[in-house]
Amino acid sequence: MLKRLFGRNKPVASPPLPPAWTGPAWQAPQTHYQTYFNLHLHNLPLDVATTALTAKYLYAAPLDPAILVQPQGAWITAYFAPELVAKVGFNKLAAEIAREHNTWLIGYRIYAEQGMDVHYFDRAEHVAGLALGQDELEREPLAPEIFAELADVRHIVPRVATQHPLDFHFALLHALGIQAADLTWVEALRLYENGALDGAQLLPA
């Protein structure tokens, strides 16, 4: 009887504490973490690109000024006003342009100190993505072969474990031949107004 009564009050062992989360292994980003809303279209004539961007984005949400386009080698870069991005299906329309014009297209929304959402479209296919939010990396391109027709990016892909995904993103764009990718809308517009972006056009024209 005594054994049974005293046994009843035995302390229950506490479950082991989960290991403390120490955060991601990557270093702090070397690139300025700002808000970027940009597209990169591959191997399209400038007039074709501007017509496609106007038809898809500005028809859906008229705004002036809204998009700044600049040819950069084999790529055309489009910088978007945040007010426009807030009104449209940014990634959905980008996918439609890639499919309808049979081209490569890379689009990204990066929010200052919050996260990033990158999509890689090869014609009708969504071939890879890069998503980061709340210090967690949800997906990233791991196979350099994805980009083989554009450039040899084996020195970039896969990402080095210590490299911040933001730095990886812009390093990959640079390896693909895309320059001046890390311009915000305000920065791109200021450079355009100062005549520093060769061949750039402001949409709507």
> Which residue in the block uniquely carries the two structure tokens 């074709």?
48
Q: How confident is the model at residue 63 (pLDDT cuts 50, 70, 90)?
A: confident
For residues 180 and 72, give the distance between their C-alpha atoms in angstroms, rounded to a whole number: 9
Task: Read off the pLDDT of residues 105-144 as tens digits, 9 standing for 90 and up.
Answer: 999 999 998 999 999 999 999 999 999 998 899 999 999 9
> Whole-prediction pTM value?
0.87
Encoded amino acid at 73, one letter: G
Given a cut of 70, whether residue 195 has pLDDT beyond it is yes
Is 44 strand, coil or helix? coil
As a whole number, mean pLDDT of residues 167-195 equals 97
> Which residue in the block uniquely carries the two structure tokens 């200021």?
190
Q: Where are the domains of the chain?
A: 29-198
For residues 133 and 90, give the distance between their C-alpha atoms in angstroms, rounded to a whole number: 18
> Which residue in the block uniquely carries the two structure tokens 């426009």?
84
Tell me the average pLDDT of the chain.
90
Lowest mean pLDDT: which of 15-19, 35-39, 56-60, 177-181? 15-19
Q: How confident is the model at residue 3 (pLDDT cuts 50, 70, 90)?
A: very low
Q: How confident is the model at residue 6 (pLDDT cuts 50, 70, 90)?
A: very low
**Beta bridge pairs of residue 125:** 122
The whole-number pLDDT of residue 22 equals 56
Contact 146, 127 (CB under 8 A): yes
DSSP state of 157: S
Given a cut of 80, whether residue 202 has pLDDT beyond it is yes
Given a cut of 80, whether residue 19 has pLDDT beyond it is no
Q: Which stretches within the chain are classed as H helix?
A: 2-8, 46-53, 59-60, 82-85, 90-100, 165-175, 185-193
For residues 118 and 140, give the distance between their C-alpha atoms in angstroms, rounded to a whole number: 9
DSSP state of 145: G
Contact 27, 159 (CB under 8 A): no
Residues 6+ apart with CB under 8 A from 151: 175, 176, 177
> Which residue in the block uniquely carries the two structure tokens 């807030």?
86
